[in-house]
């Protein structure tokens, strides 16, 4: 009876969260695919460390942005040991500036990406700063669309999520959780209206700032040691009285975050230890996810018929939530003939494993990203 009660409670929570997801998606703003021309100066800032496989297309996409007459693209070759520097030097465009930095460790109190972004910002002259990861591909009107939201809504930061391309089965299992997590748990309408810093959800792959607001909070120096510097920047904007929103950028931007499964594991384990704020927070947060989405699926194999029915309801709710988000963001889903949402309990299990591995590496001091300790 206790087990059935737990399964019933878990399934009702899953059902409630999926209802919240459905409502949330009605409040989620999207970057328009077409927007008015931008009259102000725009700086697109790209940190690149060993990005030979992606950086040329990313830079050419940045240079091909339409509707922006005064465009500046600055790329920091951050101590790359592959062909990144040579690829950048071969791109001939007067709007492009390439800065080659030696492969040095960041100063004390800084992590690599915030340090790279801070150096890029020093060279930027635009009234809009667009921080763009070196593996993000943009449609021609992406930046103008983001600036349109920034200015028409009177914002200081727009944080669009690109469509995530996952080429391997393991990545298809884990990567969709990136968007699903905030679409399910963050009340987007409330977050936009209240601007509470605790309700921040951002993705550092694309961040579109009003330049004065960025400098007012101290830029990346304000988040120099933050592993999740994107979320920390949004919190800093809101804490300073500014306005920031999370947006859907999947129609105008895409990203293959990792070239391999080991790379994905390294990418997640460098930061998941910080996702819930503390070790106890990780235990509680991960346990709630497992209880809400894995327990009902396991209960479908129970010997008790009523428990199985409750488990089936909870499992179906979890699958439905994943399906709703995947449809909106262009990811593989049932409506497109892909079974990915059906694996939602396995996705949560993989997330729990990666979180535990992240804490293990953190405690052992072996966490690294792109050859640098974190």
State yes or no: pLDDT of 1 exceeds 70: no
In degrees and rounded to multiples of 5, residue 243 shows phi and psi of -125, 135
pLDDT of residue 171: 96
Region 260-282 average pLDDT: 91
* Confidence band of 309 (pLDDT split at 50, 70, 90): very high
Beta 157-161 vs 253-255: how paired, if at all? unpaired
Q: Give dist(CA 253, CA 38) in Å, integer.
A: 19
Give the Cα-Cα-Cα angle 294, 297, 303 (nearest 5 degrees). Answer: 125
Q: Give dist(CA 325, CA 146) in Å, integer.
A: 21
Which range has the worst mean pLDDT, 49-53, 168-172, 275-279? 275-279
Region 69-83 average pLDDT: 96
Region 159-165 average pLDDT: 95
* Confidence band of 367 (pLDDT split at 50, 70, 90): confident
Q: Give dist(CA 320, CA 355) in Å, integer.
A: 24
- List of domains in the chain: 2-26+265-373 (no CATH), 27-259 (3.90.550.10)
Give residues with Cβ within 8 angstroms of 243, minimum separation 6: 153, 154, 155, 156, 157, 195, 237
State yes or no: pLDDT of 195 exceeds 80: yes
Region 90-110 average pLDDT: 95
State yes or no: pLDDT of 339 exceeds 90: yes
Average pLDDT, the chain: 95
pLDDT of residue 142: 97
Q: How far apart are the first and last CA of the chain?
A: 46
In 144-276, at which residue ranges do the beta strands (DSSP E only) sit? 157-161, 163-164, 206-210, 244-248, 253-255
State yes or no: pLDDT of 60 exceeds 80: yes
Q: What share of the chain in percent tops pLDDT 70?
A: 99
State yes or no: pLDDT of 277 exceeds 90: no
Region 323-337 average pLDDT: 95
Task: Please state the pTM of the whole predicted model.
Answer: 0.94
Beta 163-164 vs 253-255: how paired, if at all? parallel
State yes or no: pLDDT of 340 exceeds 80: yes
Q: Give dist(CA 104, CA 110) in Å, integer.
A: 12
Which range has the worst mean pLDDT, 144-148, 196-200, 288-292? 196-200
State yes or no: pLDDT of 267 exceeds 80: yes
Q: Give dist(CA 201, CA 52) in Å, integer.
A: 29
* Confidence band of 2 (pLDDT split at 50, 70, 90): low
Q: Give dist(CA 312, CA 7) in Å, integer.
A: 10
Q: Looking at the DSSP assignment, which residues form a beta bridge with residue 157? A: 209, 244
Helix (H, G, I), strand (E, B) or coil at 154: coil
Q: How far is CA 117 from its chain centroid?
A: 17
* Confidence band of 370 (pLDDT split at 50, 70, 90): confident
Q: Give dist(CA 18, CA 24) in Å, integer.
A: 10
């Amino acid at each position: 009876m206790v087990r059935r009660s737990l399964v019933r409670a878990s399934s009702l929570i899953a059902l409630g969260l999926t209802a919240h997801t459905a409502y949330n998606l009605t409040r989620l703003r999207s970057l328009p695919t077409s927007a008015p021309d931008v009259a102000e100066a725009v700086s697109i800032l790209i940190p690149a460390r060993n990005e030979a496989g992606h950086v040329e297309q990313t830079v050419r996409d940045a240079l091909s942005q339409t509707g922006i007459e005064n465009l500046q693209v600055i790329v920091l070759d951050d101590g790359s040991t592959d062909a990144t520097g040579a690829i950048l030097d071969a791109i001939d465009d007067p709007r492009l500036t390439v800065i080659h930095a030696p492969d040095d460790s960041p100063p004390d109190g800084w992590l690599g990406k915030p340090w790279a972004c801070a150096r890029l910002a020093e060279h930027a002259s635009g009234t809009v700063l667009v921080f763009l990861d070196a593996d993000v591909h943009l449609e021609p009107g992406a930046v103008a669309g983001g600036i349109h939201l920034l200015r028409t809504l009177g914002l200081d930061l727009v944080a669009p999520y690109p469509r995530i391309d996952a080429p391997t089965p393991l990545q298809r299992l884990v990567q969709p959780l990136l968007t699903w997590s905030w679409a399910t748990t963050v009340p987007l309408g409330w977050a936009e209206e209240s601007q509470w810093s605790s309700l921040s959800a951002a993705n550092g792959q694309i961040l579109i700032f009003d330049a004065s607001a960025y400098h007012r909070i101290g830029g990346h120096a304000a988040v120099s040691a933050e592993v999740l510097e994107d979320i920390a920047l949004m919190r800093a904007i809101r804490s300073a009285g500014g306005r920031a929103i999370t947006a859907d950028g999947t129609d105008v931007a895409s990203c293959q975050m990792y070239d391999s499964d080991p790379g994905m594991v390294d990418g997640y384990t460098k930061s998941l230890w910080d996702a819930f704020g503390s070790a106890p927070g990780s235990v509680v947060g991960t346990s709630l996810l497992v209880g809400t989405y894995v327990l009902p699926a396991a209960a479908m194999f129970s010997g008790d018929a009523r428990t199985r029915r409750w488990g089936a309801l909870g499992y179906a709710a979890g699958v439905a939530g994943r399906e709703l988000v995947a449809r909106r963001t262009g990811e593989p889903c049932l409506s497109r003939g892909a079974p990915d949402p059906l694996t939602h309990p396995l996705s949560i299990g993989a997330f729990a494993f990666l979180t535990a591995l992240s804490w293990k590496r953190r405690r052992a001091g072996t966490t690294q990203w792109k050859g640098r300790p974190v």
